[in-house]
Structure 1
Amino acid sequence: MTDHLTRAHQLLAEHPVVDGHNDLPWALRAQVRYDLDQRDISTDQSACLHTDLPRLRAGGVGAQFWSVFVRSDYAGDTAVSACLEQVDAVRQLAARYPDDLELAFTADDMEAVRGRGRIASLMGAEGGHSINNSLATLRALHLLGVRYMTLTHNDNVDWADSATDEPRHGGLTRFGEEVVREMNRCGMLVDLSHVAATTMRDALRVTTAPVVFSHSSARAVCDHPRNIPDDVLEQLPANGGVAMATFVPKFILPAAIEWTERADENMRAHGFHPLETTPAAMKVQHAFADSNPRPRATVATVADHLDHMREVAGIDHIGVGGDYDGTSFLPDGLEGVDGYPRLIAELLDRRWSEADLAKLTWHNAVRVLRDAEAVARADTRPASHATIDQLDQRDQVEP
């Protein structure tokens, strides 16, 4: 494994990781209200964050989709404003650390920023509630640099079902289909992490551009609704999309599902949202873990998912999206963004070729964005001004 770790570092120097999803902006909001003096990520922040610049460099990360996430219990204009504040946070990070981070908006930008020795910084909006049922707001996010939108987060939106809510629409509504078409027209990747399997299938039926799963693993390996069923993975070669395996233990290790449900209930009982990662919230989480030893995922657990996803979808349609700073616990060996070389070493030990690993880490993610851009350039339709009232005729079931 020592030799494989050395080879992993060498490979990542040439073909760095494009990570599909990192929640550092939300962690900075929750912990210090974006006061970057209090959380100077140019130094080791391992006591309170999964992510900082030294560990991004050590992990071989060459491009990062920063999640401009807002919780799905935010609604309406509140959600839109919070998303814009998240966009501003990413821009502030790039301005503060120009030797390490540089904003990227296209696949060519990703390559150019990497060539300058910096980490290409892209943005993905996590949850369609952030557009407040407005295609104009969707377009505005794209103009600000957001390059994917996850159609839902943990709760349904008015036009799409989430994987972790009670079904309300049976997938996408007519307006939801129009959202997908408008994303295609703009060149914004349709992200199908978090959505119900019915929504995945509807989106794949409607889209004319490749889709992405920014942080989802294989449902056949861990039967959690946040993961991707095999019949959907099988559609990715025809679509051209990429599924990026996540590291969240409850999504990759069956034994962790029930434990996490109990940990979430404990958080609520102490007055915290289960996703909260403030020091006070983490103290509660770790106290629960001390009293209730948690099942431990490992690097090998993630590799099992990638083995399966490669077998079903093919090597051209997989990537990685760790969900760092968006979860309380991580697999052993992948506790921070510096863990990627250990994952690559594990895959080398499983006889993955260096050519295949280069696709996993860099080439697939760059290609999927480039292909979405090509679809947008060829699309001559005018901007859509459809509204949810027009298309869904107020026939939705009230939540």
Structure 2
Amino acid sequence: MNIINRHNDLPWALYREYDNQIDELNLNENIEHLGWSFACHTDIPRLRQGLVGAQFWAAWVNCTKQYKDAPRQCFDQVDVILRFVEKYDQTFQLVTTADGINTAFDDGKIGSMIGLEGGHCIDNSLATLRMFYNLGVRYMTLTHSCNTPWADNWKVDVDNSTVGGPVHGGLTDFGKKVVLEMNRLGMLVDISHVSRQSMIDTLQTTKAPIIFSHSSAFAYCNHYRNVQDDVLQLTKENRGVVMVNFYSHYVNCAPNLQEGDGNLTQVADHIDYIKDLIGVDFVGIGADYDGVDVLPEGLADVSTYPELFAELVRRGWSDDEMEKLAGLNLIRVFKEVEDVSFN
């Protein structure tokens, strides 16, 4: 079984720790001992141990760069992904299509796809969006944890939020144009990080299935980065997929708060919750490795995916169900997004 993880922030770690000087790090070695400022979850030996067959690498820059040089810095992060995929071409293979994922599997490579984490990267420009697509970007998260001039982020749903509540009331007219242009291009629309109303507006606007690249179930853990039940139902109607995040704060909170950072069984509970509510065809994995500083016990790094699947086996999941969770659901959505772009 090949596991497709929809969100990994190794590119940001390369920027943060090495200023994108990729030759200063050997990903062919286990690097968990390096003692980065936080995280150190990903390298080639642990990806192989974790049975990772494909990976969306996130190109992200801080929201403080919005209205400044966010597009240039986001292009830098796309560049570093392209460079490390090329450097380690015996392991990684750049993928820009759904069929390309299966080709990478057949070649014994880890299919490497690019996701743009935050609409602030395009600086209100559809032309910039198109340039990112031309470089290989195949999903964009509409916001990060800040509003753009055309979409509200999740923090507007939090009482006493520092952003002062809803600014746009979801997506603006231009925000809807962004979604439709992504449909036209064949770029997956990611609505992790956005506000509840932005989620609903996107689901009512898009002509193609959406993804939540790294979000969990709100009913199980009441954090506004997670997805509420009615939005989960809309996602089923849309034929999209929710990729469960492993970040402790999105996994382990009321009404199911446990001591410490939580544990692997809670992540399985989120997966089961989504499966039971809307079906196994609409859930996947979006771990957020190298983008978070605390993880549940049992899911310390990219080598631990098999432990999660072993837990699901204990819960009675079938092989077919686990294959859908592992990657077939994402491939199906990717193909349907491509089909919309062709019409």
Task: Give the TM-score taking structure 2 as reference length.
Answer: 0.94
- Following superposition, the deviation at residue 197 of structure 1 comes to 0.6
The alpha-carbon distance between structure 1 residues 215 and 42, as it changes in their structure 2 partners (threshold 3 A), is same
The alpha-carbon distance between structure 1 residues 188 and 351, as it changes in their structure 2 partners (threshold 3 A), is same
The answer to whether structure 1 residue 74 and structure 2 residue 93 are counterparts is no
Match of 1:29 in 2: 15
- Following superposition, the deviation at residue 297 of structure 1 comes to 1.2
Please say which of residues 349-358 and 229-238 is displaced more in the overlay. 229-238
CA contact (8 A) 2:12 2:60 kept: yes
| Structure with bigger RCO (C-alpha 8 Å, 6+ apart) | 1
The answer to whether structure 1 residue 296 and structure 2 residue 261 are counterparts is yes
SS in 2 for 1:37: helix
Which residue identity does 2:94 align to in structure 1?
L
- Following superposition, the deviation at residue 33 of structure 1 comes to 0.8
Match of 2:174 in 1: 175
- Following superposition, the deviation at residue 74 of structure 1 comes to 1.0
Root-mean-square deviation (CA, aligned residues, Å) is 1.5
The answer to whether structure 1 residue 356 and structure 2 residue 321 are counterparts is yes
Question: Partners of 1:237 and 1:223 in 2: how far apart?
Answer: 20
Match of 2:162 in 1: none
CA contact (8 A) 1:18 1:320 kept: yes
Match of 1:192 in 2: 191
Counting only pairs closer than 5 Å after superposition, residues 22-101 of structure 1 correspond to structure 2 as 22-47=8-33, 48=36, 49-76=40-67, 78-101=69-92
The alpha-carbon distance between structure 1 residues 311 and 256, as it changes in their structure 2 partners (threshold 3 A), is closer
The alpha-carbon distance between structure 1 residues 131 and 90, as it changes in their structure 2 partners (threshold 3 A), is same
Question: Partners of 2:184 and 2:113 in 1: how far apart?
Answer: 19
Match of 1:277 in 2: none
Counting only pairs closer than 5 Å after superposition, residues 209-358 of structure 1 correspond to structure 2 as 209-254=208-253, 295-358=260-323
Between the aligned residues of both structures, percent identity stands at 45
- Following superposition, the deviation at residue 198 of structure 1 comes to 0.4
SS in 1 for 2:61: coil
CA contact (8 A) 1:235 1:313 kept: no
Question: Partners of 1:371 and 1:140 in 2: how far apart?
Answer: 22
Which residue identity does 2:246 align to in structure 1?
F
Q: Which runs of 5+ in 2 are unaligned?
A: 157-164
Match of 2:160 in 1: none
Question: Partners of 1:361 and 1:95 in 2: how far apart?
Answer: 25
SS in 2 for 1:122: strand
Q: Over residues 21-62 of structure 1, what are the superposed CA-to-partner deviations in whole Å (9 max), with x where a residue is unaligned?
A: 000000000001122232211100112410000000000110
CA contact (8 A) 1:217 1:245 kept: yes
Match of 2:207 in 1: 208
SS in 2 for 1:63: strand
Question: Partners of 1:311 and 1:187 in 2: how far apart?
Answer: 30
CA contact (8 A) 1:250 1:257 kept: no
Please say which of residues 158-167 and 104-113 is displaced more in the overlay. 158-167
- Following superposition, the deviation at residue 76 of structure 1 comes to 3.0
CA contact (8 A) 1:255 1:295 kept: no
Question: Partners of 2:302 and 2:255 in 1: how far apart?
Answer: 21
The answer to whether structure 1 residue 145 and structure 2 residue 136 are counterparts is yes
Question: Partners of 2:181 and 2:7 in 1: how far apart?
Answer: 22
Question: Partners of 2:18 and 2:256 in 1: how far apart?
Answer: 30
- Following superposition, the deviation at residue 236 of structure 1 comes to 2.1
Question: Partners of 1:258 and 1:302 in 2: how far apart?
Answer: 12
Q: How many residues align?
A: 330
- Following superposition, the deviation at residue 237 of structure 1 comes to 2.4
- Following superposition, the deviation at residue 226 of structure 1 comes to 0.3
Q: Over residues 237-258 of structure 1, what are the superposed CA-to-partner deviations in whole Å (9 max), with x where a residue is unaligned?
A: 2211110000000001116999
Q: Over residues 242-291 of structure 1, what are the superposed CA-to-partner deviations in whole Å (9 max), with x where a residue is unaligned?
A: 100000000011169999xxxxxxxxxxxxxxxxxxxxxxxxxxxxxxxx
Q: Which runs of 5+ in 1 are unaligned?
A: 1-14, 260-293, 379-399
Task: Give the TM-score taking structure 1 as reference length.
Answer: 0.81
CA contact (8 A) 2:220 2:255 kept: no
